[in-house]
Structure 1
Amino acid sequence: MKKIIPLMLVFLSAFQIHSQKLTQDVSKTTVVFKIKYFGSYVDALFTKVDIDGNFDQKDLESSFLNATIDVNSFDTNNSYRDKILSEDYFDVKNHPTITLKSTEIEKVAVNLYNLKADLNIKGTTKSVTLPLIVSENGNKISIKSGFTIDRLDYKVGKSSFLLSRKVITNVNFLAVK
């Protein structure tokens, strides 16, 4: 029994090192989106984003990235517009979060990956493939993604000649392993 306990501790510590659990740097993680309205782009920033991840480029089967965004935390720099978007477009009372649940990460090229995930906005879930650019420096990791979604696929607002259907999103996730 005395020999088994140290062996188990070595095994568990090796598993812990291998798992590459990420701790988000909240101050440097951003989710920004922009949409064309009346011919000009409107930018918005979500200020409350929680990304949970485990990334090991040598073990992508165990790697994942999941995100939860507090929808009511977006800021367009216009409180009147934020209130309208919050109530009429996002319906935050009934749908307070946007979630992304990772299903697979695959390598495309050096530092380039595809994240396959289920994206849920306003109760509508769709499978998406998001490009990832991954940079590692010691125990720090940066994961960036830029993608476009159709807001009407998620019932965000209604069809409009003034407001584009396409929402351009950029994510910058910084973490420590």
Structure 2
Amino acid sequence: MIRNLFGLVLLAAIGAFQVSAADTKFELSGKNTEIKFVGTKKDGKHEGGFKTLIGSIEVEGKDIVKGKITVEIDMDSTWSDNEKLTNHLKAPDFFGVKNNPKSKFVSTKIEPTTAGYNITGDLTLNGKTKSIVIPAKVTVADDNLTLKSEFKINKLDFGMAYGKGIIEDEVSLTLDVKAKK
């Protein structure tokens, strides 16, 4: 009986160690995560991004496929290459920061591809939520995680119709994450 009890305690301890050793969480912030956008129009383009965000990327061991990504962006931290545009981006016809101070992304599925990964998730922007797919290159090595991505979203999907016919509907985004455990 004591030997069986000892065996159960040993199995429980080993199982607990494996569960805790397999879960790794990388914290995201504006210091290690860069989110930039480029909006284009007939006579040029404007660049910008977001300075303040929080979130995490959780992986099982070094396996991102079983992971979870969550990011919350402080929309008041929006910036652009033009101060007047920055203020307009915070207005109701774009991000509507007063009524929608935070934007959020939560992954729902991560799948390997020949070029890296497809990260599917729900993006909430301007009070509207839509499922998007983000192609990414992700590396988990030792205590470091890097993620790089370039993709487009359609601003009309998030209720931003300002400049229809003048400003392109698709906005290019780049993500650059360099996180440590």
Asked if Structure 1 and Structure 2 have the same fold, meaning a TM-score greater than 0.5 normalized by the shorter chain, the answer is yes
- Superposed CA deviations along residues 54-107 of structure 1, whole A, max 9, x for unmatched, are 12454723x111111111111113322211110131111111111111111111
Change (3 A) 1:169 1:59: closer
- Counting matched residue pairs gives 175
Match for residue 31 of structure 1? 35
Code of the residue aligned with 1:148 in structure 2: it is K
- Superposed CA deviations along residues 103-156 of structure 1, whole A, max 9, x for unmatched, are 11111137x111111111112111111111012332101011111011011112
Aligned to 2:104, which of 99, 102, 110?
Answer: 99
Give 5+ residue unaligned stretches, structure 2. none
> Would the aligned equivalents of 1:47 and 1:74 in 2 still touch at CA under 8 Å?
yes
> Would the aligned equivalents of 1:102 and 1:116 in 2 still touch at CA under 8 Å?
yes
Matches within 5 A, 1:77-116: 77-87=81-91, 88-109=93-114, 112-116=116-120
Q: Distance in 2 between matches of 1:93 and 1:26?
A: 21
Aligned to 1:70, which of 44, 54, 74?
Answer: 74
Q: Distance in 2 between matches of 1:125 and 1:30?
A: 22
> Would the aligned equivalents of 1:24 and 1:176 in 2 still touch at CA under 8 Å?
no
> Would the aligned equivalents of 1:25 and 1:174 in 2 still touch at CA under 8 Å?
no
CA offset at residue 15 of structure 1? 1.1
Change (3 A) 1:85 1:58: closer
> Would the aligned equivalents of 1:152 and 1:159 in 2 still touch at CA under 8 Å?
no
> Would the aligned equivalents of 2:30 and 2:51 in 1 still touch at CA under 8 Å?
no
Tell me which stretches of 4 or more aligned residues in structure 1 moved more than 6 Å.
none
Give 5+ residue unaligned stretches, structure 1. none
Aligned to 2:172, which of 147, 168, 172?
Answer: 168
Normalising by the residue count of structure 1, what TM-score does the alignment of the two structures yield? 0.86
Normalising by the residue count of structure 2, what TM-score does the alignment of the two structures yield? 0.85
Q: Distance in 1 between matches of 2:64 and 2:84?
A: 47
Code of the residue aligned with 1:98 in structure 2: it is S
Does 136-145 or 166-175 show the bigger shift?
Answer: 136-145
Q: Distance in 1 between matches of 2:148 and 2:64?
A: 19
- TM-align CA RMSD: 2.3
Match for residue 50 of structure 1? 54
- Superposed CA deviations along residues 21-73 of structure 1, whole A, max 9, x for unmatched, are 22336423100001013421100020012231112454723x11111111111
CA radius of gyration, larger in: 2
Aligned to 1:12, which of 12, 16, 24?
Answer: 16
Quote the sequence identity (%).
22
> Would the aligned equivalents of 1:98 and 1:119 in 2 still touch at CA under 8 Å?
yes
